[in-house]
Chains A and B, each alone.
Chain A
Amino acid sequence: MNLFLQQVINGLNVGSIYALIAIGYTMVYGIIKLINFAHGEIMMFGAYFAFIAATSFQMPVWAILVLVMTIMAIIGVVIEFVAYRPLRNAPRLSALITAIGVSLFLQNLALLIFKPEPKIMPKLFPEMTVSIGGIDISSTTLITIGLSLVFMVLLDLYIRKTKQGRAMRAVSEDKDAAILMGVNVNRTISLTFALGSALGALGGILYSVAYIQIYPTMGVMPGLKAFIAAVLGGIGIVPGAMLGGFIIGMVETLTKAYLSTTWADAIVFGILIIVLLFKPTGILGKNTREKV
């Protein structure tokens, strides 16, 4: 039983990181119906910047988090402005292809700047083991899960309680009606990219602390799995992304623990196929009928 609980904790650890990244996918999709494939690279750059801040400038952890999340929020906004805004009224396929292009561009940019050899992330959090009811949990795991949950709750409150949050929901529901109501659509979309990218950067930092290596293609796999998490929870729905992230993390870890390590990825990607076949709107999604 203890072994099982330990594996559940492992699953929550991976899942919370997937959830953070999935939120970025889902927010952007919700507001401009674009699957931002460059999101995994935002996560990667976040990890690199955290590495530089920690090794070259010896900054404290809180400063690293604040600084890197701010930088990545700005970069997210710039990417939207340069790559996606000119295509706002183009067919959705063009924007999707652009997103893949941006993703490849950022990967190769990182390859050029940082070289392919992995960098080793220093230990940002104090290292110790906490024993709760016979289960040993490392401080890194606790902090990863804790920080993710805090930021997810903050985001949820922001979207539901503030004026900007309401503007975001309005734009995602009906862009034209939102314009008529006096919502600044461009600014709202920028804000969405900023928030999503900041959370993606946090995911990148936590991921690199947990798995210690930082390299130019590190965002690809977690990015894909977070995308599946977003689809599973219902793309466009923020709580769905969180739920999806935790489910994917849990499925992956328990498969590795009790079935087979070689099947873990196959099962995770299998989930995507099953969801798309039987409930394309995801767990929390509602079937809406298009009115003509």
Chain B
Amino acid sequence: MKKRVVSVLLAAIFIASIFTFAGCSSSGSKSDVIKIGFIGPTTGDAAIYGTSARDGAMLAVGEINSAGGVDGKQLELIAYDSKGDQTEAINAYNRLRDQDGVVAVIGGTLSGETLAMKDIMVQDKMPVLSPTATAVDVTVDAPNIFRVCFLDSYQGAAAANFSADTLGAKTAALLIGTGNPYSEGVSAAYQSAFVAKGGTIVGSESYGTTDKDFSAQLTKIKEMNPDVVFVPDYVQTVGPIMQKAKELGITSTFIGADGWDGVQVDYADAAQGNYFTNHYAADSPSATVQNFIKAYNTKYTKVPNSFSALGYDAAYVMAEAIKTAGSTESAAIITALSATDYPGVTGNLKFDAQGDPKDKEVTIIKIDGGQLKFVTTVVNK
């Protein structure tokens, strides 16, 4: 009998809580502030990505507000920590929608958390702009979801075009991390684009995600002696790979993707003279980029990475869309987003029918004397 009383009480509390939150949401949307949500990991293993993107977006919102805001209203960025966890991300999104009453969301930062929130976001028809989620599926069958970063396949093709056109490479070898979708995806795109340019893939070697010893694979690559070796993986893996390659006396140029960002810090010697594709270059001659870096450095006293740049662009594009829409209605913002044409820090941004960036510039960076040097930008045709 006692149990039943407790359960009835609990049920009553639950129902009451639903009404309380519903009350919050209706009162929240009537203010003079336009609320935008941000979701990304700001603690945990992937914290560096979430905090960088958030800081970039915060900087943009600050600039927009001091320039008069959007239609005379101030923007407010409400950032919640996803901890890189899919459930946490969904909770954060629900809170943004119900409790804070945001009109649009910038996020998620990681592909996994964005995919987890995708179905609810599509149901809600919430305008969503992810700064950094690269997985293909993020924007598929989701007319309300857009992203700022280019896709893995797009940068793989850009790296191949750069190898063939600028470096004049005729032969290439691939070194792929099996079981790592990022490495596999970028490599596949590189392979087809390089072959389309008339190049030959002379060999394809692989390693497991926990491998530390790459000497067997690199010895085989040395024997093939290709013009370039394509290794799209993260710094912790490509650093030791290039170190070993140098020890073995491999003279081929190594090419990588945006996972290489930061390789100059610990592996300057090993990576000397190699190239990788990225979202932006800190020493790019463009005035937009230099202004962004200066502002970021003034506010946070550090140099922004590409996640900060993408977060910054995302906030500007979203503000621009709300301005164009002239209202905070979801449908109007989504229509405005799909017509975006914005010259951002990470390149000129337009969206294709899918919601992915169209003909976006890919920046090529060279590692030279422990510095990242801007080389050129590539647009895939």
Contacts and interface: CB of A to CB of B under 8 A. Distances in A.
A36 interface: no
Contacts of A129: 247, 249
Given A3-B220, A6-B219, A10-B216, A127 B207 contact: no
B208 A221 contact: no
Interface in A30-56: none
A200 to B, nearest CB: 17
A7 B216 contact: yes
B215 to A, nearest CB: 4
Contacts of A252: 213
B266 interface: yes
Contacts of B120: none
A288 B210 CA distance: 39
Contact of A262 (B178, B239, B267): B178
Contacts of B284: none
A13 B219 CA distance: 13
A253 B239 contact: no
B247 A261 contact: no
Nearest to A263: B208
A127 B247 contact: yes
Contacts of B216: 7, 10, 253-254, 256-257, 261
Contacts of A136: 248-249
Contacts of B212: 211, 213, 218, 221
B236 A213 contact: yes
A257 B219 contact: yes
A253 B213 CA distance: 9
B32 interface: no
A50 B153 CA distance: 42
A134 B178 CA distance: 32
Contacts of B248: 136, 138
Interface string A229-257: 00000000000000000000000111011
B215 A213 contact: no
B266 A256 contact: no
A3 B223 contact: yes
B219 A10 contact: yes
A256 B210 CA distance: 14
A230 B240 CA distance: 28
A245 B207 CA distance: 22
B226 to A, nearest CB: 15
B288 interface: no
Contacts of B91: none
B317 to A, nearest CB: 33
B328 interface: no
B9 to A, nearest CB: 43
Interface string B277-295: 0000000000000000000
The dominant DSSP class at the A interface is: helix
Interface in A99-146: 118, 120, 127, 129, 136, 138, 140-141
Interface string A1-38: 00100110010011000000000000000000000000
Interface string B65-86: 0000000000000000000000
A14 B210 CA distance: 16
Contacts of B217: 256-257, 261
Contact of B240 (A7, A127, A140, A213): A213
B208 A262 contact: yes
Interface in B233-264: 236, 239-240, 243, 247-249
B225 to A, nearest CB: 12
Nearest to A252: B213
B183 to A, nearest CB: 13
A13 B236 contact: no
B209 to A, nearest CB: 10
A253 B215 CA distance: 8
B133 to A, nearest CB: 25
A212 interface: yes
Nearest to B246: A127
19 contacts: A3-B223, A7-B219, A10-B215, A10-B219, A14-B215, A120-B239, A120-B266, A120-B267, A136-B248, A211-B240, A212-B240, A212-B243, A213-B212, A213-B240, A257-B219, A261-B178, A261-B207, A261-B208, A262-B179
Interface of A: 3, 6-7, 10, 13-14, 118, 120, 127, 129, 136, 138, 140-141, 210-213, 218, 221, 252-254, 256-257, 261-262, 264-265
